[in-house]
Every structure is written in C-alpha cells, then in structure tokens.
Amino acid sequence: MKPLETYTVGMVGLGLMGGAIALALRSEGIIRTPGRILAYDRNPDTLAAAQAEGVIDAGMISPEAMLGHCDLVFLCLTPRGILRFMESQMAAFPAGTLITDIAGTKGSIVAAMEHTLREDLDFIPGHPMAGGELGGFVHARTCRFHGKNYILTPLKRNKPENLAVLKTLIYRMGFRRITETSAQEHDRKIAFTSQLCHVIAAALIDCEADTEITRFGGGSFEDLTRIAMLNAPMWTELFIENRKELLRRIEQFEGSLDRLKSAIAQGAGQELEQRLQRVRERRAAMA
Amino acid sequence: MKPLETYTVGMVGLGLMGGAIALALRSEGIIRTPGRILAYDRNPDTLAAAQAEGVIDAGMISPEAMLGHCDLVFLCLTPRGILRFMESQMAAFPAGTLITDIAGTKGSIVAAMEHTLREDLDFIPGHPMAGGELGGFVHARTCRFHGKNYILTPLKRNKPENLAVLKTLIYRMGFRRITETSAQEHDRKIAFTSQLCHVIAAALIDCEADTEITRFGGGSFEDLTRIAMLNAPMWTELFIENRKELLRRIEQFEGSLDRLKSAIAQGAGQELEQRLQRVRERRAAMA
C-alpha cells in the first residue's frame, strides 16, 4: 500500500475548512514530498494566495485537471455543492480514489453515494466538528482541530483499509475523538448540538436592535451569540436540508423554555431551583 | 479626604465575587497598609483560608464587629440577602460609610435604599458584569475583571465625591467601562444580556438527557451551555426578582425563534438567508 505521506491530496473548495485541512496536512507533515497537496477553488486569487504561502503545491483551475492526479480527495463544499460536484465530476476520478467530504448534514450525501457512486471509487462521508465565525481561506488559521470531534458516517461498501487511512490522517491533524455512526444518527444529533444552537444565537440577535446593549454584557450574551456571525448561505442550506430533525429539536427546546417560563411566571422558586440544579448537574456530567 | 489606599474595606460575603473583589483590591495595590481588607462570611473556613492566603487582613465572625471599622463596605450577597443585611445591620454602620453592592438585579435594592437608608450613609448600587461557572471563594481567581463592564445605578442622593472614589476603585480593579443608568434600565437590559441567556442555556440542557451528546459537539453547544452550570439558588432568585422584564424578553425571543422556525419549516431559503445575513451584520456591529 502506498504510504500516506506520499499521497496526492486534492482539495475541492479552499474556504475556511478546506484551507484549514490543507494547512494541517502540510504543517503536521502528514503529506510530504513526493506527496502533494493540490486544490481547486472557483476563486483563482485564493489558489494563488494558498500557493504563495506554501499551503498547497498547486492550484488547479479546473476540477478535471486536478482529480486525475489524486489518491485522496477532500470535498469542502456545502451539501448541495458536494452532490452537484459528484454528479458532474464522477467520471473524472481515477479508479481507486478515496473521497471524503466535510458537510454538516450527511443524510442526502450518504443516500446519493449509496446509489450513484462508481464501483471503483470509495467515498467515506465525514464531518469535522470545527469551524469559526470568520469564513474563507484568509481565516483558515483561526480554525483549530486540536482536541476536537470528528464524525464519520461510513457507507456499507467502504474498504476497511481506506477507513483506517482516513482515521490515521484525522488523528494526525489533531482531532481527539472520531465517532462512527449512521447518517441518520448524525443528522439527529447535529440538529441539536450545532443547528439548534445556531438558530438560537440568531434568534437572540434578531430580537434586539440596540447594538449598544453590549455595554450590559458580562460574557454570557457574547458567548451565546458569537456563532450568530454565521455564513448565511451555508447555514440556510444546512437548516433546510436537515429541517425535519431541526424542527423537532426546536420544538423540544421550546417545550423546555416554556416550562422554565411558567415556573418563573408563577414565582415557583422551589420548582425552578430544583430544575436549575438538575441542569447544572447534567451540564457538569457533559463536561 | 482620606486617600483611597488607606481605606478599611469590609467585604460582606466572600464567595466568588466577594473573593474576586478582595483579591483585586489586594493584588492591584488599591488598598495598602495602613488600609485594611476585612471580611464577614457565614463560613468560618472561608475566612480562615482567605486570611491564610493574605487576601484579607482579618475575618470577622460577626458583621457588627466588622462594620464599625469600615470606610467602604461591599455587599456581595444575593438581592434578598442584601436587603435582609441592610435591614438588620443598618445601625451598625459608622456615619459616613460608603456602601455598595454587586447584585444582578437593582430595582428592589434601589427602591429600598431610596426610602430606608440612614441619612448619614451613602449607598451606591452596582453590578460588576463578571462571574464564572464555578462558585465560591475557592474559585475567586477564575473570575477576571480586565476588560469587563461595570454598571452603577446611583441614588439621587449619592455624594459626587463618593461616586468618584468608587469609580476610581472599579477602574483600578481592571474593569474597562462603567455605565451609569437607572435601576429600571439596568433591569430591562440585564434581563436580555444575562438572565435570558441563562434561561436559554438551562432550557438547552433541560431538553437533552444524553450526556454523550458532546461527542457531536463542535464548540457551539459548549459555548451556549457553559453558563448552564449555574448557581441554582442565586439564579432562581434573580429570575423571580426580575420576572416582569425577563418574561417580556423570553416572549420577544420566542417570537424571533418562531419566525426562524417558520422560514425553516416552509423551506423559505431566500427569506431565511436574508434574515441570517441581517443577524450576522448586527452581531458584527455589536463586537
């Protein structure tokens, strides 16, 4: 088997996450000469900057030109972008290419790949649980992987040796914990830990127009709303893509909020204190 | 006028905030010999620890014994604790004592002090916008003041020279910005930036029993729920004390959440994206 460090890796999309992965592959020495990091991005300036900084070996202006060289391809696009890319570029991958993606919802990608992926390709869907408020390649260095979670939702047909290679690479990028699960389970859990949190942060900002309110901030408001500086097109797509699970989670949350509201409205101190105490203990157990 | 560094300061309550203030007064050299830092706390072990660490000069086992020595008293209790303390100890303050507090709601304290405070005392209500998930004197060092906000809700009768002394002391403890406002305005704003955020964090934890959900965390869930590790008795009191404003804020938030939910349910991508874009811009303007 070809040693991982000699792989030619192709990045499709060199935004915040694609850029951060390329940076990690390079700075951690995971890919070394004769291994190469190539990238395709619709913005030629991004490719030029990444090449000038030594993050990638070469920027490619067409995906076909790049894919032909690759052992491993990282699709760093939105879920719909990934589906469109696979549909249009399926023929351009060399036989045996290992493909993975970073999309924040997995259901539609897994369903499509189970049915339409070429038999001689291996696609392992993934989701690095990292990110940042400021998007784009220029902010890739702000996106840290050390200590973070990574989710894989393997297809039934994935080759064990490819799964092993990808997991080695993920750990070497700094991620602390890889969880393998189904796309359905991923989308259910992520609707809570990620999408619901972003909806809540957005709603908090949506209901207060006074930007001077931060004079009254002590840290909690800032912490709860940092993620409200979201990439609007990407999160719109993620929310709508996973809307069934997300709506269920929003409703669960509304139920909990309503119970707290009732206890406050009734001045039910004892009930409220007990509920807050349970919350405190549960959160401590999560830490 | 007596120089600030020679004041005898009395801390009433040496928990997280009382401890952090005593630490700042000492470590920043704001109070120096012959000035002294005294403390009263219902837990004698806390007083012994604080004295052993050199944070206070002496721990007093009765408030009366302490108050007689003080030029400045910090009341570091809950709102009801402060009202009870002032009611029971009003006679023990020497004439001219400057008193301040740290309670997270100001309406009831200001109302009480406007009417019941002895004429020869000066009480300046305050709220340091700092804190931490882990309470008590043992965690006082985790509570940082540098760069934080401090709110003062002065009484009409406060002496300008006392207000100047207190503001000097607050800036020297490291706070970046002092906002003077009315108790009503404070309680309205704080219901949003602090109490609503704590209710939301608690509701988020309340609606998910699986503590292993953190395997699917990428930072946003952790950021939104860190404050769910709250001091249950204190926050119960703050929520109920300020319930009128807090309920209004919860309802505003529910309205915003409902609009986002509807857009998601309808798959209204364009509307959702526009709304998220406005949110992003507003949050950026707050930063």
What the block records as the tokens of B180 is 């003077």
Across the interface, of B217, B237, B257, the residue whose CB is closest to A250 is B257
Asked if the Cβ–Cβ distance from B272 to A246 is below 8 Å, we say: no
Question: Hey, which residues does A39 pair with through a beta bridge?
Answer: A11, A59
Across the interface, of A131, A186, A264, the residue whose CB is closest to B239 is A264
Please name the residue of chain A whose CA is at the shortest distance from the CA of residue B211. Answer: A286
Chain A residue numbers touching B200 (CB-CB < 8 A): 200, 204, 224, 257
Taking phi over 0 as left and psi of -120 to 50 as alpha, with beta for the rest, A165 belongs to alpha
Tokens 């955020």 found at: B197
CA angle (B18, B24, B29) in 5-degree steps: 135
DSSP state at residue B139? G
Is the pLDDT at B287 greater than 90? The verdict is: no
Separation of CA B38 from chain center? 20
Asked if the Cβ–Cβ distance from B260 to A202 is below 8 Å, we say: yes
Q: Which CATH architecture has domain B186-286?
A: Orthogonal Bundle (1.10)
Give the count of Cβ contacts less than 8 A between chain A and B.
280
B161, burial (CB in 10 Å: exposed 0-12, middle 13-18, buried 19+):
exposed
pLDDT at B150: 98
Chain A residue numbers touching B287 (CB-CB < 8 A): 214, 229
pLDDT at A133: 80
CA distance A55 to A41: 14
Chain B residue numbers touching A275 (CB-CB < 8 A): 202, 206
Asked if the Cβ–Cβ distance from B193 to A214 is below 8 Å, we say: yes
A259, burial (CB in 10 Å: exposed 0-12, middle 13-18, buried 19+):
middle
- Interacting residues of B266 by C-beta distance below 8 A, sequence separation 6+: none
Across the interface, of A151, A226, A276, the residue whose CB is closest to B202 is A276
pLDDT tens sequence across A189-227: 999 999 999 999 999 999 999 999 999 999 999 999 999
pLDDT tens sequence across A15-38: 999 999 999 999 999 999 999 999
Q: Indicate the class that CATH gives domain A4-181.
A: alpha beta
Across the interface, of A148, A201, A220, the residue whose CB is closest to B218 is A148
Strand ranges across the sheet with B149-152:
B126-128, B149-152, B177-180
Closest chain A C-alpha to B124 CA, distance in angstroms: 18
pLDDT tens sequence across B88-126: 999 999 999 999 999 999 999 999 999 999 999 999 999
Whether A253 and A196 have beta carbons less than 8 Å apart is answered as yes
Asked if the Cβ–Cβ distance from B193 to A131 is below 8 Å, we say: no
Please name the residue of chain A whose CA is at the shortest distance from the CA of residue B285. Answer: A211
Average pLDDT, chain A: 96
Where in chain B are the domains? 4-181, 186-286
pLDDT tens sequence across B130-150: 988 888 999 999 999 999 999
Shared fold status for B4-181 and B186-286: no
pLDDT tens sequence across B251-264: 999 999 999 999 99
The interface predicted TM-score (ipTM) is 0.92
- The reported pTM is 0.93
Nearest to B209 by CA among A286, A186, A198, A201: A286
The phi, psi pair for A39, rounded to 5°, reads -150, 145
Chain A residue numbers touching B80 (CB-CB < 8 A): none
Please name the residue of chain A whose CA is at the shortest distance from the CA of residue B251. Answer: A261
